[in-house]
Structure 1
């Protein structure tokens, strides 16, 4: 797999891609912690930063050394197949599984979202996540997302090419430990 972090640990994962995200005041709910719907948005933001934006050709550019992708993503380098396929392929979320293990309190400083590619199927990829403290001391949320590759012209699922499959399998990691068995 790709490079590891300098000192980053996660007790639930061996090798992973880490995305650091800042919380916003508006992410809190009436109970003073990050809302469950907002946590899904954090997973989406981390996924786009780690896997590449499906709209990268029209996205605002990031400047290295400022608050862009280069400062927030580390660890296993995930191949760019998601961004590369975007001209002919839609990447649709087919399902989410999410377990909220502890409330995320609002605070200054980033939260870590650690990602793994945990399954590669003929027309889909499963991404696992752990939202945790950057020092690995506390796990807040464990989740999975299945992303399906859809051919834009036909509107039907398309198989990953041999090169895409090989690229994803080269970074395949252990699935996140969801408490409920996958169906």
Structure 2
């Protein structure tokens, strides 16, 4: 399923539109590098569902309560569904800042793809870009590990979770310094 949105790198993706804040800028007038990691986190939670979904406040109707901000490939609710018994912890980030993101009014696009599903983890790829697809700024990946709350140890994804996540598996983002 494609939303009609374009991305300078990805073909099929989930798009999250996020507004920048004045305080996101650094002294050079660009979006700060640490803020960009926060943008990735916000996009991941909005697209995949909250990792604390079972205890979150009620949401508005729509896709994870943010239907007006999320479009494109609909990622299964595995993350939100697992939240009662599972912690979803970031194991690693790989991020490449390709161009500075200038501050502007209006949203920035964060496009996501599930690029790898393993026994106890999922890799999410991202491109931060202009909403019209004219420019990419940042390319990144995050490995999220499923941790059993009771034991504190990684837990294997169930067959149904693997099947659901593999149904939206996409091409990994092209990191220049790949770990693969």
Fold equivalence (TM over 0.5): yes
Contact 1:64 1:71 in 2 (8 A): no
Whether 1:21 aligns to 2:18 is: yes
Deviation at 1:55, TM superposition (A): 1.6
Whether 1:160 aligns to 2:166 is: no
The equivalences for 1:33-48 within 5 A come to 33-48=30-45
**Taking structure 2 as the reference length, what is the TM-score of the superposition?**
0.95
Q: Where in structure 2 are there 5+ consecutive unaligned residues?
A: none
Q: RMSD of the TM alignment (CA)?
A: 1.2
Deviation at 1:140, TM superposition (A): 0.3
Number of aligned residues: 178
Report the equivalent of 2:170: 173
Deviation at 1:4, TM superposition (A): 1.5
Deviation at 1:64, TM superposition (A): 4.7
Contact 1:124 1:148 in 2 (8 A): yes
Report the equivalent of 2:83: 86
Point out 4+ residue stretches in structure 1 off by more than 6 angstroms.
none
1:99 aligned counterpart, secondary structure:
strand
Q: Where in structure 1 are there 5+ consecutive unaligned residues?
A: none
The equivalences for 1:109-148 within 5 A come to 109-148=106-145
Q: Which deviates further from its counterpart, 167-176 or 48-57?
A: 48-57
